[in-house]
């Protein structure tokens, strides 16, 4: 039995429930699409927003039930709760600074600083909360780099809303890989199985 494995599986469990990024990613994508210049209006806009909310809402209920029934629930320690608060503040601060930095760049510039700031903020969040895993570095590193590439020129006011589509997809992909990591951390090698130990003694 590996002590560190048991401890980290328990301590990291609330923060590696990657399926939550599905409604989050849907929300990010819907927010992006609904801010495009050529966004749907009238009934189309309402359908987009309500449809997105309905899907995200249904997903949230199903995901909550899934984790509760298949993995159970834990109450994190105070230290972890404080660490999560710090991670959230860091995420907001980095995104805010990054978004402000973007104001000093040409709004029609060829980079998308918002996307890079989002990626950096998310990397900081994971680093503070559970430690960076390889897939965090790959996915969010790629998004960070993509934001700095001079490929976003000519999009005007649509630049940041359009960037929210790959951001939402990246969030979902990162979350699905977190979920895979979570599932693996709960899979017990045959040699470590405790079943068959006598009660008592």
Partner 1 sequence: MSEGSDELVLDRLIHEPARLAILTVLSSVRAADFVFLQRTTGLTQGNLSSHLTKLEDAGLVRIEKSFVGRRPNTSASLTPVGKERTAAHWEQLERLKGLATSSRNP
Q: Which of 13, 15, 140, 152 binds partner 1 (CB under 8 A)?
A: 13
Looking at the Cβ atoms of 13 and 20, the one nearer to partner 1 is: 13
Q: Which of residues 142-171 bind partner 1 (CB under 8 A)?
A: none
Q: Which of 1, 103, 134, 156 binds partner 1 (CB under 8 A)?
A: 1
Core vs surface per residue 81-107: b (16+ CB within 10 A) or e: eebbeebeebbeebbeebeeebeeeee
CA distances from 130 to 8, 112, 143, 144 (A): 9, 28, 20, 20
State whether the Cα torsion 134-140-145-149 is positive or negative.
positive
Site string for partner 1, 96-135 (x = CB under 8 A): ----------------------------------------
Q: Does 86 bind partner 1 (CB under 8 A)?
A: no
16-24, 28-36, 74-82, 103-111 -> range binding partner 1 (CB under 8 A):
74-82
Whole-angstrom distance, CA of residue 88 vs CA of residue 20: 16
Q: Does 173 bind partner 1 (CB under 8 A)?
A: no
Residue 150 · residue 143 · CB < 8 Å: no
Whole-angstrom distance, CA of residue 29 vs CA of residue 197: 50
Q: Does 76 bind partner 1 (CB under 8 A)?
A: yes
SS3 187: coil
10-18, 46-54, 132-140, 169-177 -> range binding partner 1 (CB under 8 A):
10-18
Q: Does 200 bind partner 1 (CB under 8 A)?
A: yes
Q: Does 60 bind partner 1 (CB under 8 A)?
A: no
Residue 87 · residue 133 · CB < 8 Å: no
Judged by the rule CB under 8 A, the positions of this chain that interact with partner 1 are 1, 3, 6-11, 13, 68-78, 186, 188, 193-195, 197-201
């Amino acid at each position: 039995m590996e002590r560190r494995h048991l401890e980290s599986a328990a301590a990291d469990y609330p923060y590696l429930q990657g399926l939550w990024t599905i409604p989050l990613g849907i929300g990010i994508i819907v927010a992006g699409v609904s801010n495009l210049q050529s966004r749907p209006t009238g009934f189309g806009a309402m359908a987009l927003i309500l449809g997105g909310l309905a899907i995200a809402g249904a997903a949230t209920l199903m995901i909550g039930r899934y984790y509760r029934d298949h993995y159970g629930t834990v109450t994190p320690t105070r230290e972890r709760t404080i660490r999560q608060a710090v991670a959230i503040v860091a995420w907001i601060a980095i995104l805010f600074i990054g978004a402000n930095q973007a104001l000093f760049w040409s709004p029609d510039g060829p980079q998308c600083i918002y996307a890079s700031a989002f990626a950096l903020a998310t990397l900081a969040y994971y680093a503070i909360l559970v430690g960076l895993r390889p897939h965090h570095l790959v996915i969010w590193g790629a998004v960070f780099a993509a934001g700095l590439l001079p490929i976003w020129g000519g999009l005007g006011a649509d630049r940041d809303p359009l960037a929210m589509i790959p951001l939402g997809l990246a969030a979902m992909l990162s979350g699905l890989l977190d979920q895979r990591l979570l599932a693996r951390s709960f899979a017990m090698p045959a040699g470590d199985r405790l079943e068959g130990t006598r009660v008592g003694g």
